[in-house]
Every structure is written in C-alpha cells, then in structure tokens.
Amino acid sequence: METPLSPLDFARRARRLYADREAVVDGDLRLTYGRLFERCDRWSSCLQGLGVEKGDRVAVISPNTHSHLEAYYAVPQAGAVTVPVNFRLTADDFAYILSHSGAKVVCVHPDYFEAVDSIRSQLPEAAHFVALEGSREGWLDYEEMIAEATAAFEPVSIQETDVISINYTSGTTANPKGVMVTHRSTAMNIMGHLMHTRLTSADRYLWVLPMFHANGWCFTWTITAVGGRHVCLRKADPRLIFEAIAREGITLLCAAPTVLIGLANAPEELRRAAPRGVRVFTAGAPPAAATIERIEGELGWEITHVYGLTEVSPIVTISEWRPEHALLDAAGRARIKARQGVEYLGNAEVRVVDDEGREVARDGVTLGEIIIRGNAVMAGYYNDPAATDRAIRDGWFYSGDAAVVHEDGYIEIRDRWKDVIISGGENISSVEIEGVLLRHPAVLEAAVVGLPHEKWGETPQAFVVLRPGEEADAAGLRQFCRDHLAHFKVPHGFEFISELPKTATGKIQKFVLRGGRANLSAQ
C-alpha cells in the first residue's frame, strides 16, 4: 500500500498524539498542538476563502514567529505552496521574488510593511496582503481573520511529488532562483533528521535559525513530528539566546557559525549560568577549534556539524559520531567536527568528483566537487529550466562546493568549486592560499583567483589589502607562501589594492577580480 510521503502525515500523527502538549512559545503566547492545528485549519479555510487553489503560491516575510510556523502547515494542507522570503533582503529583492513566484497572497510581519507597500504596484498577481501582526490600511488582519474563520477547510488531494515550498537562493551573482521542494523530499529530510538527532517529545527547540532559510532546515516540521516544543526567537542575539535557553529549558538549536562565535564570546555571567547538555547543529562553515572548545568544553554542549543547500531541502551530510571518536583528544574531536561528514541516512547519495566525474581519492588532499542525488534533491528551479539543467546533470545535482574526502569517508569543504584554480592539472583551493596570506602580519585581507596561463592553464593570482601602516612586497609574500605551501600553489602574481570588491552582504566578488584591473577600477 502506498500513501503519500508528506510532512502533513507527520502533522496528522502529532495532532492525534500530542494535542495537549505545548507546541509553540512565542513571547507571552503559548499554544498547545491542539490549538496550533486549530489555528492552522482556520487559516487554511481563510486562504481558500481568498481564492487560493491547489498550486497557488503564498509568500511569508517574517522573523521566527508562531504565525510564520503556522504557514508551514496551513498553506500546504490547503494545497498551496509556501514561499518563505529572506526578510534581510531589500524591497527590490522582495519585488523580484514575489513577482517571480507569482504569489497570490503575501503575509508580512510589521517590520516589513513599508518595504512591501513600496513595491505593491510591481506585484499584479498579489491579490491579498496580510498583516501577520497588528493592522494596516489596505491590508487584511491575520488574527482577526483566524478569530472569525471556521476550521472546516476543504480537504485537498496531495501527491507526494507536489511542490510544498519554493525557497529562493541568495543569488550572489545573478537573480535569486526559486528552489521547488516537494512533499516527498521534505518528508525524507524530516526522517533524515529524526534518524540522526534522537529527538523526542521532551525536546525544546530554540528558533535561532531563521524559518525562511530552507524551511528552517525542515525543523519547522521535524520538531512537530515528535511533539517537541518550538520556542520562537525573533532575533539571534547572544543574550536573548542564553536567556531563552535558561527560561524555557532548551535542549536543541541550530545556529550558523557566526552565532556560535557570538555565544562562545558572550559575557562570562551569561555563559556561567547556561544549562549543560544543549545540542547544537551548525552548518555553513566549519566552527573553529576554539569555538568548539569553548562551547563543548566550557558550556558542556554538543556541537554537530551538518551540510546542505537549499537545493537539497537542505541537509545531506552530518559529521556522524562513531565510537572510535571517543578515543580522540580535544584537537582530534575538533578536527572531526570541522568536517561536513558523511551522507545522511535515506535521503541522498553524496560523492566528491573530479572534472570527469570520477570520485576523488580518500586522501584528505585531492579536491573535487560535491555532487548529490536522491530524494532530498529539488524538483528544479521554478520557471527556470535552463538553470535547472545547469545544476542537475546526468541525474546528479552539482553543489558548486569543492571538498576533499578523508580516509574515513568524511567530506570536508575547502572552497567553492568555481573558485578552485586548476593549474598544471592540479586542483588548488583559493581558500587555502588566502588562509596562508592572512597569517602574514602585514596582510589585512586577501583574495586569490585563477588567471589564464598559456602553459599551466591557470595560475593563482593574489589580491592583497595591507593593514594600515604595514608594509610588504611581492617578493616577501612569495617567500612567505613558499614557506607554508606546496610550491605549485604559490601565487604567480601579487597585486596590492586598497579594498576588495564585495557584495552588499560582505561576500568577496571574485568574478570582479578575475575580470582584471578594468573592473577593479570601476568599483
């Protein structure tokens, strides 16, 4: 017998078994699962009342709130598709995403009313704007509508291959792309989490990770599946995090490395009062050994490093604990925890391959690109078949991440694949060279890119910003690199510039550096 794989089935179970358990804490508001789902049902019936039909898109622009969480149930059970939008973007970005997704209903937290009102004229398909909190002229009132609605929404037949959400990528070099995630791939990711995280109804999850970010890595659904408690946090501030952990008895959270650094460096009185045993999932960049030591050694928490992308809905590897790891010293444990790890159970097959698609050696040195196939992989980019075809080739999703594989099969990311320099047949990580340059006392910032070379194909070229008042020349830096790198990795050229070209969010634009001096001076 087959029944559709869907987060809605986990919600159905939670509704039956955990109705009396506390589901959500959001400031002073506390909702049981019974009340949460009652509100979701009412919002589903409101959406249907607004004319939302199967496959229609409903966008949400909101920090981590109970109403944002409700969208993850109310929208798909009404047959529609959730479009969670990164609230850190500009009004122009909102306009692009809302227009590209063709959202029929746009649900917005008060912080973003003005930004959205400023672009309303650019959104002909958006028939309704909903104020998730408070009220506003020309906007529908979420709480008022829920209060007046019936919970008896019209059931919609859902196939497991139906799209449940469209999540837009950050789009550093081009417009954001809409990742279509299906009910089936989401269900597989929920199960992936539950097989690796030992979650139970005793767990209390702190919403540090934004819900919009790849559906909060699916924790919007995973916590509910086991009847755990969602504790909303509207701002990822270290003091607020420590306070919430103590007040709500938090057992689990997900956090980007920068947040972990903030926690590790928080005032001592906050750290001293923190309860032990909190489990932390982190991804994005490996946590530094010092951060791990502070959080595991001092706080007594447990860090687990995972890896994924929006396109794989989103977690596909974990630095899985093995019994032999118990024998490692602190440095050895930090080394393991810095790795992205091994593929998740059940949802994806993960390989690291060279340019010809051959798996790289398990030597911890040879760089390859991470490729992924399986149920975790997206259905494609919304209304963008060309980009889908570029990303998924011969049945594999190409992540764009460059990694090595260690002897134990654990993957470790070293660079973006497009930033890897191929010189004389060797793959060279630009990040590794930058790391060496940054250890030179005179260097403030450094970026390394590959420039075309007749003999070697490409050679590394370094762009360096010196610290104010410090001096260094190409010969000195070259010698420094020779002392710390294999010779073929030493940059052929060093260019000293006053600042590196960066995006609004601070990412270095290597494509500008590759374009050479003309582009640089245009900055």
Residues binding its own copies (CB under 8 A): 1-3, 5, 9-10, 12-13, 16-17, 161, 184-185, 187, 191, 194-195, 198, 200-202, 225-226, 320-323, 342-343, 345-346, 349, 373-375, 377-379, 392, 395, 397, 409
Decide whether 409 or 516 has the Cβ nearer to its own copies: 409
> What's the min distance (Å) between Cβ of 202 and its own copies?
4
> What's the min distance (Å) between Cβ of 222 and its own copies?
10
> What's the min distance (Å) between Cβ of 69 and its own copies?
20
Decide whether 153 or 410 has the Cβ nearer to its own copies: 410
What pairing do the DSSP bridges indicate for beta strands 22-26 and 57-61? unpaired
What pairing do the DSSP bridges indicate for beta strands 457-466 and 493-496? parallel
Per the CB < 8 A criterion, the answer to whether 318 and 306 are in contact is: yes
> What's the min distance (Å) between Cβ of 228 and its own copies?
10
Q: Bridge-partner residues for 401, per DSSP?
A: 416
> Token pair of 195, please?
């097989």
Decide whether 136 or 373 has the Cβ nearer to its own copies: 373
Residues near 317 by Cβ (< 8 Å), separated by ≥ 6? 306, 307, 308, 340, 341, 342, 343, 344, 350, 411
> What's the min distance (Å) between Cβ of 475 and its own copies?
47
Place of tokens 């032990």: 276
Decide whether 395 or 441 has the Cβ nearer to its own copies: 395
> What's the min distance (Å) between Cβ of 405 and its own copies?
10
> Token pair of 523, please?
């900055």
Per the CB < 8 A criterion, the answer to whether 153 and 48 are in contact is: yes
| Euclidean distance between the first and the last CA atom of the chain, given in angstroms as a whole number | 61
Residue 39, Cα to own-chain centre: how many angstroms?
A: 28
**Helix, strand, or coil (residue 249):** coil
Decide whether 184 or 510 has the Cβ nearer to its own copies: 184
Which of 386, 394, 329 lies closest to 357, judged by CA?
Answer: 394
Decide whether 215 or 423 has the Cβ nearer to its own copies: 215
Which of 355, 356, 358, 471 lies closest to 420, judged by CA?
Answer: 355
Q: For residues 201 and 130, give the distance between their C-alpha atoms in angstroms, rounded to a whole number.
A: 33
> What's the min distance (Å) between Cβ of 381 and its own copies?
13
185 φ/ψ angles, rounded to the nearest 5 degrees: -65, -35
> What's the min distance (Å) between Cβ of 346 and its own copies?
6
> What's the min distance (Å) between Cβ of 344 and its own copies?
9
Per the CB < 8 A criterion, the answer to whether 203 and 18 are in contact is: no
Amino acid at 82: T
Decide whether 13 or 30 has the Cβ nearer to its own copies: 13
Q: For residues 184 and 4, give the distance between their C-alpha atoms in angstroms, rounded to a whole number.
A: 7
Decide whether 10 or 94 has the Cβ nearer to its own copies: 10
Decide whether 361 or 442 has the Cβ nearer to its own copies: 361
Q: What is the DSSP string of 375-444?
A: TTS-SEETT-HHHHHHHEETTEEEEEEEEEE-TTS-EEEEEEGGG-EEETTEEE-HHHHHHHHHTSTTEE
> Token pair of 319, please?
């630095």
Decide whether 323 or 469 has the Cβ nearer to its own copies: 323
> What's the min distance (Å) between Cβ of 279 and its own copies?
13
